[in-house]
Amino acid sequence: MKYEYEKSQFGHGSITDIEKKYLSLTDNVNKYFLIRQNSESKIETMKIQEREIRKEIDEINNSLNALTRGKDLLKRKLSKVDPESMSFANKIGNVVRDLPVLDFIDPYYEVKQVVVNDLEEDLVYMGMPKVDRCMTCHVGIDKAGFEDAPQPYSTHPKLDFMVGPNSPHPLSEFGCTSCHAGRGRGTGFYTSAHSPNDKETAHRWKKELGWEPMHYWEIPMLPKKYTEAGCYKCHSGNMPLKEAETLSLGLSVFEKAGCHACHQVDRWNDATKPGPSLYHMASKTDKNWTYKWIIEPRSFRHNTWMPHFFKKDNNSSLKI
């Protein structure tokens, strides 16, 4: 067409008709050329996106393969330790390795413990190094990553502050009962002297675990709600503690109420005591007044800071 157009300009043919066709075709060529360029640009963009998507897919597949390998490894380990998953040969092996004399080599049930040589326990009038075996059951207590696991497998809260090897209170130096109390040498739920947090927990423990208070153990484990009380053993001289808000608040109330005026506490031995001296208190009172004051302090003075220790849901008896 271009040739026909150029030829018409020199007098060969109708220049008007040929020019119209030529210009129309030129416009179409330019239009489709732009469409092609736009399409090629979009195709290139889509190729880039495809490469990125394939890269993400490869990364996901690699992660999935790593998880699958980890899962398979854990399954193989589980088949060796879980009685329901292990092979018959492994079951026989477990029986053999727990036989007397042989069980010292690699027992199935292994007691784990921490010996804290700097702390002693009074055992039959002898000072013996503190031994805590809590980690026999609480196997994940000093390991990160088990925060959501059920007890007794979960990680200790605030691992960077308590129990962790790089914390100010590492497990190897402080053990467990230094803070939580209880019987560290016990390896059972009852013999460890656990203490329930409330009546509902106590009832559930009795039903599910056969729990009961360990009558002859003088220092039972602190209930969870009173755990901060263990901090006072070492930190009585540097209160308040940011990490023990409940304990700090309690000591603040104790001091504000002037409790140390009547109750001797080493922390406030040299502090100014509010109120008069109590050295001649016996000459000013009688048994009836003392009984009334102890049972219900606010019946004598309505605005006293003295708390009620009796007539509570956990102490309904009036026996003193």
> pLDDT for 96-125, tens place per residue?
877 887 777 777 778 899 999 888 888 888
Whether 66 and 120 share a structural domain = no
Task: Collect all residues with Cβ–Cβ distance below 8 Å to 25 and sequence separation of at least 6.
Answer: 1
> Which tokens is 27 given?
């416009």
**Domain for residue 317, yes or no?**
yes
Query: Which residue's structure tokens are 């000072």?
Result: 127
**Domain-terminating residue out of 80, 102, 121:** 80
> pLDDT for 208-242, tens place per residue?
999 999 998 999 999 999 999 999 989 988 888 88
Whether 120 and 221 share a structural domain = yes
Task: Collect all residues with Cβ–Cβ distance below 8 Å to 213 and sequence separation of at least 6.
Answer: 193, 195, 220
**Domain for residue 200, yes or no?**
yes
Whether 71 and 151 share a structural domain = no
Structural domain count of the chain: 3
One-letter amino acid of 291: Y
pTM above 0.85, yes or no: no
> pLDDT for 264-281, tens place per residue?
888 888 888 887 777 888
Whether 125 and 69 share a structural domain = no
- Share above pLDDT 90 across residues of the chain, in percent, rounded to a whole number: 38
CB neighbourhood size of 155 (10 A): 19
**Domain for residue 87, yes or no?**
no
Whether 37 and 142 share a structural domain = no
Whether residue 189 has pLDDT greater than 60: yes
> Which tokens is 224 given?
């969870």
Lowest mean pLDDT among 9-13, 196-200, 219-223: 9-13
Instruction: Tell me whether the omega of the peptide bond preceding residue 152 falls within 30 degrees of 0, making it cis.
Output: yes
CB neighbourhood size of 174 (10 A): 21
Range of the domain at 144: 112-229
Measure the CA–CA gap between 247 and 213, rounded to whole angstroms: 25
Whether residue 9 has pLDDT greater than 70: no
